[in-house]
């Protein structure tokens, strides 16, 4: 996305391609830090405890939580509570809602790339676990 400068393109087809890449990026970034059954069977992320140690910059932590929020409310789940408009008549059969989400900016994409590299370095420093 960065090398091809998709964030600068405005055609409908390129916007769709960018949206697909961004969705995949957000889902992939969030997967390791989400709740999952790790090797011990624990239902908590094995990485969530390391956020403060890996993402040292406040801007990185803010982007981390923004991306997790987008993943949970826009990309991976269609939680109705995230999309309800107060006072709107949801009984109207002609109702069609579409949430428009601004794509990540070039600066956010560059920062996200830095954050991903930090997570990779963090994981490389971890001792491998013995599978019994």
Name the token pair of 127.
């001792």
* Closest to 55 measured CA to CA, from 43, 44, 66: 66
Residue 58 DSSP label = H
Length of the chain: 132
Q: What pLDDT score was predicted for residue 12? A: 77
- Over its length of 132 residues, how does the chain's per-residue pLDDT go in tens digits? 667 666 666 677 777 888 888 888 988 888 887 766 655 666 566 677 888 889 989 999 999 999 988 888 777 765 555 556 677 766 766 655 556 678 888 899 999 999 999 999 998 888 776 665
User: Could you tell me the pTM of the whole model?
Assistant: 0.68
């Amino acid at each position: 996305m960065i090398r091809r400068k998709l964030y600068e393109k405005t055609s409908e087809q390129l916007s769709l391609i960018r949206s697909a890449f961004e969705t995949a990026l957000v889902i992939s970034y969030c997967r390791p830090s989400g709740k999952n059954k790790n090797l011990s069977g624990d239902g908590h992320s094995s990485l969530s405890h390391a956020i403060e140690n890996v993402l040292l910059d406040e801007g990185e932590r803010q982007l981390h939580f923004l991306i997790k929020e987008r993943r949970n409310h826009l990309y991976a789940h269609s939680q109705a509570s995230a999309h309800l408009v107060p006072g709107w008549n949801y009984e109207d059969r002609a109702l069609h809602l579409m949430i428009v989400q601004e794509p990540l900016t070039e600066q956010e994409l560059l920062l996200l790339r830095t954050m991903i590299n930090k997570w990779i370095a963090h994981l490389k420093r971890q001792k491998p676990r013995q599978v019994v």
